[in-house]
Amino acid sequence: MGWLDQILIVPIVLPLVTGAVLLLFDERRHVLKAMINVASTLALTVVALVLLHLADTPPADANAATTGVYLLGNWAAPFGIVLVLDRLSALMLMLTSVLASAALVFSLARWHRSGPHFHTLFQLLLMGLNGAFLTGDLFNLFVFFEVLLAASYGLVLYGSGALRVKAGLHYIVINLAGASLFLIGVSLIYGVTGTLNMADLAVRIPEVAENDRMLLQAGAAVLGVAFLIKAGMWPLGFWLPNAYMAAAAPVAAIFAILSKVGIYVILRLSLLLFGADAGASSGFGGSWLLFGGMATIVFGAIGVLASQAMGRLAGFYLLVSSGTLLAAIGTESVTVTSGALYYMVSSTLAISAFFLLIELIERAQNPAANVLAVTMEAYGDDMDEDDIQEEVGVTIPATLAVLGSCFAGCALLLAGLPPLSGFIGKFAILSALFNPEGPGQGGSVAGTAWALVTVIILAGLSALIAMTRTGIRTFWAPIDETVPRVRLIEIAPVAFLLMLCLALTVQGGPAMRYMDATAQSLHSPAHYIRDVLAAPRVPGPGSGAQQ
C-alpha cells in the first residue's frame, strides 16, 4: 500500500494530532501555538490539493476503481469503517482548507489571543469537517458531526460580550436538538436496513419490504431535518443570522462552510439512497427540498433588505445561498446540480471574505452614527447648505480605497453580477433550468422552474440593493470619517479569497468541467457503490490476506 493510498486519512489524523499537541503548551505561548497551527493548516491545504488532483485523475486501467477507499482496521465494507474519496468530497476538503487558511491568518492579528484553546478548537473543527466529508457510513458521520459541533460551541462563544453569549447559547441549544434528531434518524434507518454503510444502504433500500418502507422514510425524514437545521432551511434557520453576526470575524468566516455540511450530506444521501435506482423510494423528499429551498431564498432576501447591520446582511445572504442549493438539489437535474456546485464554491468564498471584511470596515464606524444614518435616510437630512463645508483637494485614504474595492468585489459576487464567478454560477443554474433536456435540446420549462428562476433573480436584486445602500452609507457619505487601522495580515486573507473568486472566473471552463463530472457521478452512483463494497483488504505479511 503506497503513500498515495495512505494520504486519504491525513485530513483527519493531522488536525487531530495537531490539536492534541497544542494542548501541551501553555496558553501564554501564543506565537509558538500560532506557528504550529499555521504549519498544520497549510500542510492540510497541500494534502487537499493532492487529493483533489487524485479524485479528478482517471485511472489508467478502465476497470480500476474510480473512487478512493480507505479501510480502517483493514475490515472490508460494509462491516468495517471506510473513508471514501470522490470528486465531491475532494472539492469540500479543498474548500474547507482554503477557508481555514484565510480565517487563521486573519485571526493572528489579535483574535487568537482573546481566549483559551483557540488553536486546539480550530484544529478539532477541521478534523470534524474533514471526517464528515470523507466518511462512508452514517454512524461515523454522526461521530464527526459531533466533533465539529463540540469545537464550534467553543468557537462561537470565543471572545466576550453579552450578545455573543446569548447568540452562542441559542446556537448550542439548536444544534444539540439537531444532533438528537440525527441519532434518532440513524437508529430508525439501521432498524429497517441493518446497515449504516452508505453504499450498502444504496443496495438494500430498493429491497426494503413495503410494510417497512414508511419507517425507513420516517428515519430519512428525521435525519434530513437534522441537516436542514444546519443548512438553515426555512423555517429551521431562524438562529443562523444572529449566531454568525455575533461570532468573531475569523470564526464566522470558517463557519461559512458549516452550513455546507448540511448541503453536502443532503446532496450525497438524496442521490445515493433515493436516486433513480431506489425503487419505490426514488425521489423521496425532492419536492420538499425544492419548495423549502425557494421559501428559504425568499426569507433570506427579505432579511437582506431589512438588515441594517452588515453582519446580519451576511448571515441572511448565507440563507439565500443555502436556499438556492437546496432548491437546486430538489430539481433532481444533473445540469442544475453542476451549476449549483460551482455557485456553492463561489458564494462560500465570497461570504467568508465578507465576514472578514465587515470587522475591518466597522472599525471606522460609530454605532450611534449608524443609527443616525438610518434616521437621516428615513426622515431626510435637514442640514443647511451654509453648514456644509466643501473640502477641496482631499483624497480618499488608501485604507478606505482598499476596503471599498474589496467591498465592491463582495457586492458583485453576492448579487451575482458579471463578470465575476457569482454571475457564472447563477447563470449556469438558470441556463440548466431553461434547458431541462440539455443545452440546445429545447423542452418545456416547468412552472416550478419559472418560480425558482424568479426568486433567484429577485434575491440577487435584493442583495444588490442592500449592498449598494450599505456601500453608500459606509464609503460615499460617512458621518464618521475615521480611517480604520488595518494590518496587512488582516486585509491579505480577504484579498486572497476574492482573488480565488477571480481565478474561478478566469478558469471557469476547467472548473465547470470538474463540476459536470462531479454531478454526473453523483446522479449515477453505481461506480461509487461498486468501489466501496468491492474495495480489497491489504494482504497481511506472509499470506494472501490478513488473517
For residue range 320-340, what is the model confidence (pLDDT) as tens digits?
Answer: 999 999 999 988 889 999 999
Single out the residue of 545, 544, 448, 537 nearest to residue 73, CA to CA.
537
Read off the pLDDT of residues 31-80 as tens digits, 9 standing for 90 and up.
Answer: 888 899 999 999 999 999 999 998 888 776 655 557 888 888 778 778 88
Q: Cα 524–513–5 angle (5° rounding)?
A: 70
Average pLDDT on 403-424 reads 90
* Residue 380 in grid coordinates: 431626510
Distances (CA, A) of 371 to 34, 144, 309, 365, 479: 38, 43, 10, 11, 11
* Residue 545 in grid coordinates: 490476506
- List the helix and strand counts (H, then E) for the chain: 22, 2
Residue-wise burial string across 123-144, b where 16 or more C-beta atoms lie within 10 A, e elsewhere: bbbbbbbbbbbbbbbbebbbeb
DSSP letter string, 40-94 = HHHHHHHHHHHHHHHHHSPPSSTTS-SSEEEEETTPPTTTSEEEEE-HHHHHHHH
* Cβ-contact 186, 175 below 8 angstroms: no
- Is the pLDDT assigned to residue 492 strictly greater than 50? yes
Distance CA 86, CA 336 (A): 19
Average pLDDT on 500-514 reads 92
β-strand partners of 137: 197
Distance CA 259, CA 240 (A): 9
70 φ/ψ angles, rounded to the nearest 5 degrees: -120, 120
**Which residue carries 470565543 as its cell?**
158
- Is the pLDDT assigned to residue 301 strictly greater than 90? yes
- Is the pLDDT assigned to residue 29 strictly greater than 90? no
Average pLDDT on 400-417 reads 88
On the CB side of 187, CA atoms within 13 Å amount to 6
Single out the residue of 147, 353, 156 nearest to residue 244, CA to CA.
156
For residue 438, the model assigns a pLDDT of 59
What is the Cα gyration radius of the chain?
24
* Cβ-contact 251, 106 below 8 angstroms: no
* Cβ-contact 315, 245 below 8 angstroms: yes
Sign (positive or negative) of CA dihedral 339, 342, 346, 347: positive
**Of all residues in the chain, what percent carry a pLDDT higher than 70?**
86
Burial class (CB in 10 A: 0-12, 13-18, 19+), 334: middle
For residue 373, the model assigns a pLDDT of 46
β-strand partners of 84: 69
Q: What is the pTM of this model?
A: 0.88
**Which residue carries 438610518 as its cell?**
374
DSSP label of 476 = I
**Which residue carries 474533514 as its cell?**
130
* Residue 383 in grid coordinates: 442640514
Q: Where are the alpha helices (DSSP H) in 157-209?
A: 162-193, 198-204
Distance CA 517, CA 274 (A): 20
Distance CA 101, CA 346 (A): 17
Tally of residues, the chain:
547
Average pLDDT on 251-257 reads 91
Helix-helix angle 447-471:398-415, to 10 degrees = 170
For residue 392, the model assigns a pLDDT of 42
For residue 547, the model assigns a pLDDT of 39
197 φ/ψ angles, rounded to the nearest 5 degrees: -65, 130
Residue 448's identity, in one-letter code, is: T
Single out the residue of 16, 236, 2, 255 nearest to residue 134, CA to CA.
16
* Residue 223 in grid coordinates: 435525519
Q: Residue ranges of the domains in the chain?
A: 3-380+395-530
* Residue 226 in grid coordinates: 437534522
Read off the pLDDT of residues 198-249 as tens digits, 9 standing for 90 and up.
Answer: 998 988 988 888 888 889 889 999 999 999 998 889 888 888 888 888 888 8
For residue 317, the model assigns a pLDDT of 92
Least confident window among 308-312, 353-357, 375-379, 401-405:
375-379
